[in-house]
Amino acid sequence: MSSPGPGRPRVQSVDRAFDLLDALSIRGGRASLGDLVSDTGLAAATVHRLCGTLAESGHLRRDAGRDYLLGPRLQRIGDVAGRATASWAVPVLTAVVEGTGETANLAVREGDGVVYLAQVPSPHSMRMFTEVGRRVDVHCTAVGKALVAGDDDDEVRSMLDRAGMRRFTDSTIVDPDRLIEELRVVRQAGFATDESEQEEGVRCVAIAVGTGDAAFAVSASGPEARFTRDRRDAAVAILRAAVAGLVP
């Protein structure tokens, strides 16, 4: 077993199996043995053994080129997981939309990025739209900043070294020191913002809920002309109220 610190011990083999599935997902569902060794840092023999077990159970399969692919049994799990997530996420996001008038999103961290899992759109004709399942960068999104604000500075720098800091707009933060300083502000304030950093003219505010790998972020986003700074700040209380029933 691996010991993550406070709380119950974790089963190392289970952690490693999910690391492999996550790595395959990030690569689009297909990867070679070498890719998985590189992505997870596990020994080749360990990756081969775990992937063999997952392939025998139908959760992975191997093609003629010897690449590993996500298997058909994961399709059913994914479909059920999507419906289960929607059952609690949609009411939360609907409350955010009703309170702010802006589009609400739910996102989780995936490797060195963030993935959107659910969305409820704003009723306005001019509204923000993010495709569910889309993967975005951490450094330029409110959900990303909210989810990594709990990491220490060295962890953040390592993540940025791997992922890079691509510029999307003139407002995108591309200096690691500046982002780390902003994350310190996020920790103190309890919420993160995106001020036209990923898309010009779009403002977003997000809070993180939960800790560690189980954490998720909820956000509200809209055009700057309508979603003013005052309305953005007022949205923080709405976001916190919407998730209040989900916090133990």
For residue range 223-239, list pLDDT tens digits in order. 999 999 999 999 999 99
Q: Alpha-carbon distance 22 to 113, whole Å? A: 12
Query: What confidence tens digit (pLDDT) does each residue in 178-212 have?
Result: 999 999 999 999 999 999 999 999 999 999 998 88
Section 212-220 average pLDDT: 91
pLDDT of 248 higher than 70: no
pTM over 0.85: no
Please give the Cα distance from 111 to 129 (Å, whole number). 23
Residue 108 CA, distance from chain mean position = 3
111, pLDDT greater than 90: no
Q: Write out the E strands in 111-166.
A: 113-120, 135-137
The 10s digit of each residue's pLDDT in 130-184 is 788 889 999 999 999 999 999 999 999 999 999 999 999 999 999 999 999 999 9
> Is pLDDT above 70 for 110?
yes
45-104 pLDDT, tens digit each: 999 999 999 999 999 999 988 999 999 889 888 889 888 888 999 999 999 999 999 999
Q: Where is average pLDDT lowest: 2-6, 92-96, 125-129?
A: 2-6
If one compares 128 and 164, the residue with the highest pLDDT of the two is: 164
* Of residues 22 and 6, more confidently modeled: 22
Contacts of 189 (CB under 8 A, 6+ apart): none
Q: How confident is the model at residue 6 (pLDDT cuts 50, 70, 90)?
A: low
pLDDT, residue 214, reads: 83
In total, the chain counts a number of residues equal to 248
pLDDT at 79: 87
Whether 5 has a pLDDT exceeding 60, the answer reads no
Q: Which pLDDT belongs to residue 221?
A: 96
